[in-house]
Amino acid sequence: MGFKQIKSESVVQQIIDAFTEEITNGELRPGDKIPTESELAEKFGVGRNSVREAVKILVYMGVLEIRRAEGTFVCEGFQECMIDPMVFGIILDNSKDGTNLIELREVMEAGVIQLAMKNADEQEFKDLARKLNLLRTEIDFGIENIENIFEADNEFHSQISRMGHNPLVTKLEDVVRVLTYAMRYQTVKNMIETGRGDELFEAHAELMKILQSKNTTGLNEAVRKTYFDQVSHN
């Protein structure tokens, strides 16, 4: 490893950046053991406290892991905690009217559907059809059934996400769905309470048709239709 000495302010961030560079260029690989705290301090030309703090942050982010009595290693594979900083960034940066979050949701859902078009098998399409039928059934129970309707809506979209066979995308999609929980629930509630249950179902049926056709024409518009009274944008 050829770590460069740290020369200016924001020492902890620069140590983190140095690790990022080493991992990106292949000098550090998943499973590699990193030098000790003292060795890193000497290599970087900084104090041990700065190294210790940077390592703590990288452990929290899921980049490094500490193994008792063995040392500190570069993590192997995706760690769910890697998502946490991004989640907080989205929450803190989100516009007051929710536009940024809705745009993120649209991009994610359109991408997830395209992955499902590419990777899903026949059985998974049958499972999705059952999820759609369940949504229809729950809607037919009416205004007293909003919780179950919302859950059926969630299950429909989660099934599409799984059909893409990409665990990283599925995790990111899950994060977006958590972040948009309140606005999605309110949408379903409003649709049912105003007698627009059929419209809610048809919007999901249209997504199913597009998936089955494996034709992306009109995909973004179809995704946007499922937002109904949420913030509109071009």
With 0-12 / 13-18 / 19 or more C-beta atoms within 10 angstroms meaning exposed / middle / buried, residue 21 is middle
pLDDT the model gives residue 148: 95
The reply to whether 82-225 shares the fold of 11-77 is no
Quick check: pTM over 0.75?
Answer: no
Distance of CA 190 to the CA centre of its chain: 26
Domain locations along the chain: 11-77, 82-225
Q: Looking at per-residue confidence, does 15 or 5 come out higher? A: 15
Mean pLDDT throughout 140-169?
A: 94
- What is the band of 177 on the pLDDT scale with cuts at 50, 70, 90? confident
pLDDT on residue 99: 80
Instruction: Say whether pLDDT at 166 is over 70.
Output: yes
- Between the alpha carbon of residue 208 and those of residues 31, 114, 162, 188, the distances in Å are 42, 12, 14, 18
Give me the pLDDT at residue 233, please.
41
At 93 the pLDDT is 63
| 203-234 pLDDT tens trace | 999 999 999 999 999 999 999 888 886 644 43
Which of 57-71, 84-98, 104-118, 164-178 is predicted most confidently?
104-118
At 179 the pLDDT is 79
Domain covering 82-225, topology:
Four Helix Bundle (Hemerythrin (Met), subunit A) (1.20.120)
Report how far residue 83's alpha carbon sits from residue 97's, in angstroms, rounded to the nearest whole number: 24
Q: Which fold has domain 11-77?
A: Arc Repressor Mutant, subunit A (1.10.10)
Average pLDDT over residues 119-131: 97
User: Predicted confidence band at 181 (pLDDT cuts at 50, 70, 90)?
Assistant: confident
CA gap 188, 226 in Å, rounded: 10
CA dist., res. 211 & res. 113, Å (int): 7
Mean pLDDT across 98-113: 88
Is 144 buried (19+), middle (13-18) or exposed (0-12) by CB count in 10 A? exposed
